[in-house]
Amino acid sequence: MEEASNFLATKRKKYAVVTGANRGMGFETCKQLASNGVVVVLTARDEKKEMTGQKNWHPAQVNNAAITGVITNTDAVRASTVNGEGANIKWSEVTAQTYDLAKVCLETNYYGAKRTTEALIPLLQLSDSARIVNVSSSSGKLKFVPNEWAKGVFLDDESLSEERIDEVLSKFLNDFKEGEIEAKGWPPFLSAYALSKAAMNASTRILAKRHPNFIVNSVCPGYVKTDMNCQDGILTVEEGSQNIVRLALLPNEGPSGLFFSQKQVSPS
């Protein structure tokens, strides 16, 4: 963080917007960016949530809002955590998926982040140090997607496009509606969440190729204690947010189009 601070000190004022920032890692990311001299716009999906921000900003962006797309038996999770099981919780036994929740999950995690990015790109293009950081998850790694066709689409960088991503997500939802998730080779657990993050990782590569003057990366911050997992994480929000902020503060010669698992580059 010291190196990033020195970099900021030698340049003009930096501005950032963080989506889904009214609590958890989003809010902590805002705090850490601000401590590095960045003017931060804090945003949230629900306008009724308490939030603060600045009206004028550019150039960095962190897409940080996500939902799991499942119904969770929070009482069972909390009981397991109290009993010391922690990260060994069998999430498939304490969650349930529905088609409607899957649709909302994809709409929020992937399409919401995509539309936000598209709306802000004109401002990012005004900067000589534009950054986009998509907060992803190791759950979206393609090794967890049994469907070979979908995996092939995401891995084929030559023909990868937003339209191709849409095809995969549309096929997934159709198979979900028909009750054929496992039969058609989709992730059996946290299905929509995993697909939304796989799509986000693929979209990150598209954006990086389309905007070579930007630095665009996605990152799994680690298994962090948040409300989304009923505080059943390993890392603190401070530790997880450091992995996000590091990418937002990369120097201009930094890497782009990659997926990071915490601080390390990882296959998506």
Q: Which residues are catalytic?
A: 193
Beta-bridge partner residues of 60: 16, 131
Say which amino acid occupies 212. Answer: P
Taking only Cα atoms into account, the Rg of the chain, rounded to an integer number of angstroms, comes to: 18
Type of residue at 65:
A
* CA–CA distance, 171 with 114 (Å, rounded to integer): 19
Contacts of 57 (CB under 8 A, 6+ apart): 15, 16, 17, 39, 41, 123
Nearest to 201 by CA among 219, 184, 222: 219
Which of 124, 146, 135 lies closest to 203, judged by CA? 135
